[in-house]
Amino acid sequence: MSDILSALNTNGSGLNISELARNLASAEVEPRKNIIERRQTETEVSISALGEARMKMQELNDALGVISRDPILQTKSSNDGINAIVADTTKVEAGSESINVLALAREQVLEFKGFSSESATVQAGTVTIDFGVWTADDPPVFYAGERPGFDMIVPEGGTLQDLAQQFDSISGVTASVIDVGDGTYTLGILSDTGGQNSMRFTVNATGAAADAALADLDTSTTISDHQVRAASDAVLEYNGIQVFRSTNRVDDLIDGVELELLGVTGGAATITTDVDAEDIYARAEVLIAKVNETLEWLDEQTTRGVIEGTEAGALAGESSIEGIKNSLRSYLRTEIEGFGDDNGYLSNFGITMQRDGRLALEKDNQDNELIKQYIADDPQRFAALFESQVTTDNGAVTVAGRPTSTATSGTFEFTRDPNTGDAYLGTAKLESLFPGDGVTFYIVPSGPMSGLSLTVPDGTDEFELTYGRNFTSGLIERINGLLDSDNALSSREAELEASVEVNELEIERMDAKYEALEARYRSRFTAMEQMVTQLNSTGSYITALLDAQAAAARG
């Protein structure tokens, strides 16, 4: 509006009042605002770079988790009928065993058919359920097993679907109503696998007649009318010895190994537990590549650009990132402890640290990678890189479980008072679970080794337990510590976030100041314009008056 008035007002100063007010306000505010905005941009770049650094560290952690997740001793089966996995690294040992699966464990399958619908009402009463074995005699004979039977109450007015849900709620029993497709419905009931888990139903019908008679479920005298398949044990030959198991998951034949039986093998399968040299080498390559990738990125981001032709990185001068780099490189030089004579450094495994802080595979004079020779000579020693271990100096003691994720390598003394039976591992008092045949079972409830359980023979009152934390999991813990919310990186991120908020408030104040200045200048220039216009009008009037008087005098 002021611009329009200035254009229309030919008696004024001729100045663009609005533009002049804006220019003067900008001259006073913009330099300071530009400084704040540049600082804001730099802060946001730093926040973004710190976030990327956190992501890079997490990516490294994830990769390290993958290569240290599985034990270096791997179990393989020569036959697709058996899937073998290492279940307990504290028990598994290298070697091979022969397993021949003659039969899989099966569940009993019962079929009660001919129902009109799943909502058909079922007569009330009681079904006594017993678990045991049905013989192959003709007729079959039932023998109760160790599991006690119990009575299942069928309420008045219940439906077939309700009855199926009652059966299905029983531990070790699965039941459902099946639409056969010919207009009828079948009640299918399955037991757990194993010959001892066969079921017998004894019915006592007490309710009024309904759509379905409860007595139709009675198998107390015969099972043949309803049994589709009998329950049976898995039958195996273990190193030529025939054994039976109630399930198809077998964890008590080979120490530390769980076998999943998938089918009849048709002959002896070889279960081999050994270290895969190629797997160890591949893990080492991943370790080196991911560590180097992370350190190279951090170096690029923190370069100060002092060399001609180079630019400063987004994190140049960031002390938190320099601290992370130093911490990582320091850990790469750390001694690996808790592995007895295998204690050492990365160089003992054929991995060296170069001058620039990166890792590389060491080579001999013939340019051969030493790690391959080390793996061939003693592959199990590479557990120090990828697999933590717990050992004792007493072979009669059994250790199970694993310490907490933050536990560090160390040796702890087990002591037991022969009079009171009180036992300690280091300073942590152990809890005695129950006595066995010549042994006592303990758990470690607190301290750095909490999570372990010990089986200690009677008369063994002292021994040493050593925990060796593998290099990779220690590096994972180091990275987790660097990324913790109370560490330098998080503190720096919080500081920068706070700075962003301060800058935003200051920019808002600069904008408000600009608007106030512009309004003030516009107001003052408008008043000035009014005075100039008034003076110009008065001057024009006086000039016209004088001209008129002069003309009159001449005339």
471, 336 Cβ separation under 8 angstroms:
yes
| pLDDT in the model for residue 400 | 85
For the four alpha carbons of 510, 515, 516 and 518, in that order, the dihedral sign comes to: positive
Is omega for the bond preceding 139 within 30 degrees of 0, making it cis? yes
Q: How far apart are alpha carbons 215 and 514 in whole angstroms?
A: 93
Q: How far apart are alpha carbons 286 and 64 in whole angstroms?
A: 8
Q: How far apart are alpha carbons 296 and 555 in whole angstroms?
A: 101
Q: How far apart are alpha carbons 12 and 16 in whole angstroms?
A: 11
Cross-strand partners of 464: 413
| pLDDT in the model for residue 87 | 84
253, amino acid identity: L
Q: Which two tokens stand for residue 451?
A: 């999570």
63, amino acid identity: A
250, 261 Cβ separation under 8 angstroms:
yes
400, 90 Cβ separation under 8 angstroms:
yes
Q: How far apart are alpha carbons 77 and 105 in whole angstroms?
A: 19
Q: How far apart are alpha carbons 80 and 261 in whole angstroms?
A: 9
CA distances from 52 to 49, 298, 327, 349, 383 (A): 5, 10, 18, 32, 32
* Region label for 465, one of left (φ > 0), alpha (ψ between -120 and 50) or beta (otherwise): beta
Which residues have C-beta within 8 Å of that of residue 368, sequence separation ≥ 6?
none
Q: How far apart are alpha carbons 93 and 389 in whole angstroms?
A: 13
Cross-strand partners of 545: none
For tokens 């009330």, the residue is: 124
What is the reported pTM?
A: 0.68
Q: How far apart are alpha carbons 550 and 548 in whole angstroms?
A: 5
Please give the backbone phi and psi of residue 352, each rounded to the nearest 5 degrees, phi first: -115, 160
Which residues have C-beta within 8 Å of that of residue 532, sequence separation ≥ 6?
12, 13
Other Cβ atoms within 10 Å of 290 Cβ, number: 20
Structure confidence by residue, pLDDT tens digits, 301-333: 888 866 655 678 888 888 888 888 999 999 999
Q: Which two tokens stand for residue 105?
A: 């464990």
**Residue 423, helix vs strand vs coil:** strand
- Kind plus residue range of the DSSP H or E element containing 61: helix 17-67
Name the CA dihedral angle for 65, 66, 70, 76, rounded to a multiple of 10 degrees: 180
Rg over CA atoms, the chain: 42
Which of the 8 DSSP states describes residue 154? E
| pLDDT in the model for residue 104 | 97
Q: Checking DSSP bridges between strand 439-443 and strand 351-353, what pairing results, if any?
A: unpaired
Q: How far apart are alpha carbons 254 and 250 in whole angstroms?
A: 9
| pLDDT in the model for residue 8 | 45
Question: Which residues, given as ranges, of the chain have pLDDT below 50?
Answer: 1-2, 5, 8
